[in-house]
Amino acid sequence: MELSQRPELRHKVTLSPQVYQGLSILAMPLTDLQALIDVEMLENPVLEVDESENEPTEADEPTDERDDERSWDEWLEMYEDLDTVEQTAPRDPNAESANTEEFVGGVQSFDDYVLDQISLLSITDNVARAARLVVGSLDDDGFFTGSLKEVAALAGVTDDEAEAALMAVQQLDPPGVGARDLAEALCLQMEFLGIDEPNLLRIVREHLDDVAANHFRKVARALKIDEDEVRRLVEVLRILNPRPAGAFSPGPSPGYIVPDVTLRRFDEDWLITSNNEALPMLRVSPRYRSMLKSGSTADDETRRYLKDKIRSAESFIKNVDRRKDTVTRITQIILGVQAEFFEDGHGLLRPLRLEDVAVELGVHLSTVSRGVTGKYMATPYGLFELKHFFSGGYRTNTGTDIAATSIKQRLRELVREENVAKPFSDQRLAEMLSDEGVTVARRTVAKYREELRIEPSWARRRR
């Protein structure tokens, strides 16, 4: 066999635990992230809270050092420059901080977590009804164990609508939920992470048993690639989650809820500020950075250790900052769409879907879902979970869009004001909403009433 060399272009995707760390950090409530930061600071000595206003810069180093040392010096000097940047956002001297001791939190089940996302999708009522049945057929690992024929029959929809419902669930968080088998779950996660590896797709679809048995040579022969390439692809495969729901953990119930962002009004403008008191600014310790400077007395082993810890700290800081940025950008979109509500805290909410925000931000739908679930906004009108502002909607007779959340609120008010001796039926409630310009079907009123945990008219009657 003749050996030869030839140039070859190959697309290579390298994933690391930092990718999943970023997704986990985005999904965390602020109280959980606070605990994670405490743990990370204990485990990584170079990570610390930035409590100083300015950091003095050190003198430039000689230019005759090795390239590796020079590149690290340039990076460290750039990092020092970032440390000295002052915040320029205006502050309201009369603003009072939110009293977080009054904000009570709770625990959400996995089914409720997925069902909440379905209510925010831009899908028809039939598909939404079928999607809820799909969620009811998920096992503990998040796999769909039912039959689409049964879903279609129970939901009273067509086979195509049942298929659309399953596809809708498979777009939700966590990635891979709703898959019918392990291969489909892994493929969904690869699509979510943007992994473009045709050979890895073939491994997932055709050779999972061989991979489990470590028959890499057999896989290499079947795919006509090098065994080393198979091992590289398997390393990527091992980062994926074979149990989509296994990564979901509601965690312990927090004693209180801490808002991620705060809205303050200055004349006609709104200011969105991250809760930096609850989520401190992090940095790499200048003392440890100085130990990597050219000419320091640190030995090679110490320098290697510090480089590894600094890279880890840098990745962690980026993931925390990315979470702040994502939540802030979502809040900005909410503020723009729901401007009428924020005028006085009583205005009608406009329809807003997860897909709308995902397209606006250029991210995956499940990223937006992670960014709104368990994230709270402190406003002059109270504390709101971000997903409170997401809802489907209807168009009134005057051409104004109104969110389903506002319709539910009006429905609750109508029931509260009814005569307890003659409570309104669902049909009567639908007619009253129609008289106000919002055309809603009777069955939709019944669905909203059940979601609000309002009893039917016969059960509300008082003699």
Spatial neighbors of 334 by CB under 8 A, at least 6 apart, are 352, 377, 386, 389
Question: If DSSP codes are grouped into helix, strand and coil, which group holds residue 14?
Answer: coil
Same domain for 400 and 372: no
Per cent of the chain over pLDDT 90 is 4
| Co-location of 233 and 144 in the same domain | yes
pLDDT tier for residue 247 given thresholds of 50, 70 and 90:
low
Q: Are residues 43 and 70 in the same domain?
A: yes
Residues 128 and 166 in one domain: yes
For residue 102, pLDDT beyond 60:
no
Q: Are residues 355 and 447 in the same domain?
A: no
**pLDDT tens per residue, range 19-32:** 667 778 888 888 88
User: Per the domain annotation, does 101 fall within a domain?
Assistant: no
Give the model's pLDDT for residue 243.
85
Among candidate residues 247, 270, 302, the one where a domain is terminated: 247
Domain check: are 322 and 415 in the same one?
A: no
Looking at every residue in the chain, the average pLDDT score rounds to 77
Question: Are 233 and 181 part of one and the same domain?
Answer: yes
Residue 164, pLDDT score: 92
Q: Which residue, 376, 403, 433, sits at the end of a domain?
A: 376
- pLDDT over 80 (residue 285): yes
Q: Which two tokens stand for residue 406?
A: 């506002």
Residue 237 sits in the same domain as residue 261: no
Phi, psi (deg, nearest 5) at residue 284: -85, 135
Q: Which residue has the higher pLDDT, 463 or 239?
A: 239
pLDDT band at 455 (very low <50, low <70, confident <90, very high): confident
Question: In the predicted model, is pLDDT for residue 15 greater than 50?
Answer: no
Domain that holds residue 414: 393-460
pLDDT at 249: 54
Question: Tens of pLDDT along 326-357?
Answer: 999 999 999 888 888 888 887 777 888 888 88
Is position 215 within any domain?
yes
**Pair 174, 248: CB distance under 8 Å:** yes
Task: Return the pLDDT at 331.
Answer: 92
pLDDT band at 267 (very low <50, low <70, confident <90, very high): confident
Q: Crossing angle of helices 216-223/198-206, nearest 10°?
A: 120
What pLDDT score does 213 carry? 84
**Which of 128, 105, 59 is closest to 295 using CA atoms?**
59
DSSP code, position 141: T
CATH number at residue 417: 1.10.10.60
**For residue 25, which amino acid is it?**
I
Whole-model pTM: value is 0.53
> In the chain, what percentage of residues exceed pLDDT 70?
77
Distance CA 200, CA 184 (A): 13
Is 207 part of any domain? yes
Residues 193-233 have pLDDT tens digits of 778 888 888 888 888 888 888 888 888 888 888 888 888 88
């009777």: which residue's tokens?
442
pLDDT at 166: 92
Instruction: Give the tokens for residue 154.
Output: 């129970």
Instruction: Identify whether 456 is part of a domain.
Output: yes
- Position 56 confidence tier, pLDDT thresholds 50, 70, 90: very low
* Whether 261 and 233 share a structural domain: no
What confidence score (pLDDT) does residue 63 get?
Answer: 41
Asked whether residue 147 is assigned to any structural domain, the reply reads yes
Q: What is the pLDDT of residue 329?
A: 92
Residue 161 lies in a domain: yes
DSSP 275-308: -TTTS--EEE-HHHHHTTSTT----HHHHHHHHH
Strands 401-403 vs 382-385: parallel, antiparallel or unpaired:
unpaired
The confidence score (pLDDT) of residue 106 equals 53
Domain count, the chain: 3
Do 236 and 114 share a structural domain? yes
pLDDT of residue 119: 75
Residue 441 is assigned to a structural domain of this protein: yes
Q: Give φ, ψ of 402 to 5 degrees.
A: -135, 135
CA-based angle 325:330:331, to the nearest 5?
Answer: 95
Last residue of a domain, one of 376, 411, 429: 376
Q: What is the rounded CA–CA span in Å between residue 323 and residue 373?
A: 13
Please, are residues 145 and 137 in contact by the beta-carbon 8 Å criterion?
A: yes
Clarify whether residues 445 and 343 are in a common domain: no
pLDDT digits (tens, 9 = 90+) for 114-173: 888 887 787 888 998 899 889 888 888 889 988 899 889 888 899 999 999 999 998 888
Q: Are residues 208 and 138 in the same domain?
A: yes
Q: Which two tokens stand for residue 286?
A: 């200048």
pLDDT of 407 higher than 80: no
Give CA–CA dist 58/53, Å, rounded.
Answer: 16
Q: Is residue 243 part of a domain?
A: yes
